[in-house]
Amino acid sequence: MSDRRSTIGRLRDDVGSLTGEAAEMLRLRWELMRLELAEDAKRLKWLLIVWAVAAVMLLSAVPVLVVAVAYAIDGAWGLSHLGWLLVLGTGMIVVAVLGSLLAWTIFRRNLTALRETLAEFEEDRLWLEEWRGEKSGGE
């Protein structure tokens, strides 16, 4: 009878220890998830700022191109006016598009999107499966 009580006591201790470890593990995973989301939020804010600047550039280029078309319709085909207006307007559009694409590429490359948290959860799942296998195999 004493042997059974000591087994139950050990089992109770093991469950209590496992519960404490699981709670600590979940707390650490939650903290990791919070940090990753905060970092991604900063990167998203940066991306939105770059896109806002690009949008302003695009919107600024539209009137320039409209003036260029107006000069073309009016018959003023001289390079001094029309040429420069087209070059400046097109250049602003190209810079805005390339800047936006570059910002998007950098954002996607640096985006963690809970990658580490999910990897940690997978490791925890494997560990729990191993632990359950050892406990059920040893009993």
Mean pLDDT of 86-97: 86
* Predicted local confidence at residue 131, as pLDDT: 80
Structurally, how many domains does the chain consist of? Answer: 1
Q: State percent of the chain over pLDDT 70.
A: 86
Show the domain range for 84: 2-138
Report H helices in the chain: 2-74, 84-110, 115-138
Mean pLDDT of 78-104: 82
Q: Which residues contact 112 (CB under 8 A, 6 or more apart)?
A: 36, 39, 40
* Predicted local confidence at residue 138, as pLDDT: 47
Q: By CB neighbour count within 10 A (0-12 exposed, 13-18 middle, 19+ buried), where does 139 fall?
A: exposed
Comparing C-alpha atoms, which of 82, 88, 87, 84 is closest to residue 69?
82
Could you report the per-residue pLDDT of 98-115, keeping only the tens digit for each?
999 999 999 999 887 788
* pLDDT, greater one: 137 or 39: 39
What six digits make up the tokens of 63? 């009137």
- 3-state DSSP call for residue 76? coil
Average pLDDT, the chain: 82
* pLDDT, greater one: 34 or 79: 34
Could you report the per-residue pLDDT of 15-62, keeping only the tens digit for each?
777 788 888 888 988 898 899 899 999 999 999 999 999 999 989 888
